[in-house]
Structure 1
Amino acid sequence: MKTELKAKFLQHMLKKQEAEAGFTLIELLVVIIIIGILSAIALPSFLNQANKAKQSEAKTYVGSMNRGQQAYFLENSQFAPNMELLGVGIKTSTTNYQYNIVLANNGSTNASATAQGESLKPALKAYVGLVQLGQVAATSEATTLAVLCENNAAGAGNAATPATSATGPTCASGTAAIIK
């Protein structure tokens, strides 16, 4: 009887050791491979979202510069030649972008003002806005027309300057209109 008791005790101990064994090497490798595949899929998507967040800074700033130029023209009958006179509280340089204003005289005083958001990093798109003088056909009153354009491809540098026309500014080739 003692032999049977010993045998049952040994069986009980073996079962207890199997329950506490843990993970096998193959199980750990499968988990690591699954985590690797998921991270390979998610990481590019995450980095793309981070770049979009950085680009929203430039969209907002250049759009604000356009609206600031329209307000400045309403008060002064000309466009602001620099950021200080524009008075919208935008820094001329940030970590990701350099901002500036370019005026063009097309036969009249300050016929258009270009707001540039130059990308300083190759992963970010550049933005450019243009405000031009226009006329309301029915009343022949002077008004301002604006467009905000985004480069189609990412890369450091400026976006191509939009073209002015009688119907209003249009984005240059290689760029797409964001707000019109």
Structure 2
Amino acid sequence: MQKGFSLIELMVVVAVIGILAGIAYPNYTDYVMRSKITEATAKLSEKRVQMEQYFQDNRQYANAATPCTTDLSGQNFNFVCNVPDTASYTITATGRGSMTGFVYSVNQLNGKRSVITNVPGWNTDCAGSGWVTTKGGAC
């Protein structure tokens, strides 16, 4: 009576594991990337609300130092708030580290924009029509 596994059986098991890993790993990395994007979209939405609250109190965006500069740090994105005049602003999230190539922004009209460069499978530019949050997703 034979005990253990034959070389053929082990090779079949390794092949099945390799095929499963080949399918699962790209899906996992896309899932991780999508989870990191929520940091940018959530922070941009939060800051937009704070800017609108400031506008309701002061009737202008200029000198909106408090809502526009406080807590703009992020783990995967750098956030910059630009207030060129009293009637407009743009808040931009630029990816860093594994999120390099992702840029999201929102303005006073709730115009959302995604610019994604050098990331295969992602839409490259959605000007004013929304944020791309999934690979191959629409604006």
Please classify the TM superposition score into its range, dividing by the shorter chain length: 0.7 to 0.9
Q: Does residue 85 of the first structure (1) align with residue 36 of the second (2)?
A: no
| Corresponding pairs, count | 125
State the 1:100 CA deviation. Answer: 1.7
> Please, which runs of 5 or more residues in structure 1 have no aligned partner?
1-16, 132-144, 156-172
Tell me how far apart the structure 2 counterparts of residues 123 and 26 of structure 1 sit (CA, whole Å).
42
Picking from 83, 101, 113, the partner of 1:149 is 113
Matches within 5 A, 1:140-179: 145-153=109-117, 174-176=125-127, 177-178=129-130
- Highest Rg: 1 or 2? 1
Percent of matched pairs sharing the same residue? 25
> Please, which runs of 5 or more residues in structure 2 have no aligned partner?
132-139
Asked if the contact 2:44–2:91 (Cα under 8 Å) also holds between the matched residues in 1, the reply is yes
Q: Does residue 128 of the first structure (1) align with residue 105 of the second (2)?
A: yes
Q: Does residue 112 of the first structure (1) align with residue 93 of the second (2)?
A: no
Amino acid in structure 2 at the alignment position of 1:127: Y
SS of 1:146 mapped into structure 2: coil
Cα distance change, pair 38–50 in 1 and its aligned pair in 2 (3 A): same
Tell me how far apart the structure 2 counterparts of residues 80 and 64 of structure 1 sit (CA, whole Å).
18
- Aligned CA RMSD, in angstroms, stands at 2.5
SS of 1:58 mapped into structure 2: helix
